[in-house]
Amino acid sequence: MTSLLTPEAVRARVTRHAGRRHWTDWTCEVSLWVGDDRVLTESVEVLRDVMAQVERAASRFRGDSEVWALRSGETTVVSDTLMSILTSALTASLATDGLIDCTVGQQLVHWGYRSEVPRNSTVVVSPEVFTFRPATSWRDIEINESTRTVRVPSGTLLDFGATAKAWASDVAADRIAQSFGVDVVVGIGGDLAIRCTTTDQLSVEVGEVPEGTADVLLVGTGGVATSTTVRRQWMTDHGMAHHIVDPRTGHPARSPWRTVSVIAANCQAANHAATAALAMGADAPQWLSDLGLSARLVSSAGERHWVGSWGDSQRDAQEGSR
């Protein structure tokens, strides 16, 4: 997971006390840091409001959400929120050659990930997972941005696990920075949006479970996101499963990496790259390098591999804290 390590402005003078708030929502940790504690309460309200909008629009865990209404297969007018999230997800699908595919929601249900990650029992996997044929994919989604309408094949359940949290982090961070003119870091379950308005860079911590593999980075406006199989995993009658489905197989992705963290221009781009890299497997380091991204990959054995300037960001943070 990506977390906040008491982010502080580095190489700049901060004249106000910072404000911090942590809570749990969407079954994950939510963290907010603002450079001026006088706007903390209002900033929390902004973040909570954005998350509520996302939940109403894009949660497959709510029967009254917009994504559930889309299962009818009818052309449907959707909110600006869902249109923006869906557009982001489809852009990622195109950029990753389909490794990010929001049409895998029903496959996650078949594997046992319904309203929450199963914790205390062994899930009996639905037989459908063994007859999987990718008859429906992201290419079958029809959108019209001018009329704000969407149609998906009947019965298709969209899942925005690779997009929604990052989208919320980006949007909330933008609104807070623009409304209050402060530095801000928003983190939702491993998706971190950083906006620097009074300084060039902030220091943040990027780690995972188990403990002991955290890096402290110095980063500017942008996003840092982590995709991992360590946290959302559960036991099935066919072995361990996790929440990252490989659209090519309909099964939880089999990868040499247990965690991938990426620095990018925004949180959505970072999380899309991290999720695609984890599903991609052994080719991920070269793919990330070709894109000019900085990343850290942790193998299933706990070995860490760095791509791009990740190590430089880490060293800069160490020097800036002295």
Instruction: Write out pLDDT tens, residues 175-201.
Output: 999 999 999 999 999 899 999 999 999
Beta-carbon contacts of 158 under 8 Å, excluding residues fewer than 6 positions away, are 58, 60, 67, 70, 86, 102, 103, 105, 152
- In terms of pLDDT, which residue wins out, 322 or 201? 201
CA nearest neighbour of 264 among 192, 158, 209: 192
**Structure token digits, residue 187:** 């983190």
- Tokens 């099964």 found at: 251
Q: pLDDT band at residue 272, thresholds of 50, 70 and 90?
A: very high
Q: What's the CA gap between 14 and 283, in Å, rounded?
A: 42
pLDDT at 315: 57
What is the 8-class DSSP label of residue 70? Answer: G
Q: What's the CA gap between 224 and 193, in Å, rounded?
A: 7
Count other C-beta atoms under 10 Å from residue 52's C-beta.
12
What is the 8-class DSSP label of residue 136? Answer: S
Expressed in angstroms, the distance from the first to the final Cα of the chain is: 26
pLDDT at 21: 96
pLDDT at 23: 95
pLDDT at 235: 65
Q: In Å, how far are 9, 20, 38, 210, 297 from 17, measured between CA atoms?
A: 11, 10, 8, 32, 35
Q: pLDDT band at residue 322, thresholds of 50, 70 and 90?
A: very low
pLDDT at 11: 37
pLDDT at 12: 38
pLDDT at 119: 67
Q: What's the CA gap between 257 and 285, in Å, rounded?
A: 10
- Tokens 């995993």 found at: 233
Q: Hey, what's the torsion of the CAs at 92, 95, 97, 101, to 10 degrees? A: 0
CA nearest neighbour of 297 among 288, 309, 306: 306
pTM above 0.85, yes or no: yes
- In terms of pLDDT, which residue wins out, 251 or 291? 291
Strand partners, 148: none
* pLDDT higher than 80, residue 131: no
Q: Please report the domains of the chain, with CATH numbers, ordered by start residue.
A: 2-320 (3.10.520.10)
Q: pLDDT band at residue 233, thresholds of 50, 70 and 90?
A: low
- Tokens 């199963």 found at: 118
Q: For residues 231 and 1, is the Cβ–Cβ distance under 8 A?
A: yes
Alpha-helical runs (H) found in 181-245: none
Which percentage of the chain shows pLDDT scores above 70?
81
User: What is the tens place of the pLDDT at every residue in 29-82?
Assistant: 999 999 999 999 999 999 999 999 999 999 998 999 999 999 999 999 999 999
Q: In Å, how far are 92, 138, 255 from 4, measured between CA atoms?
A: 26, 33, 27
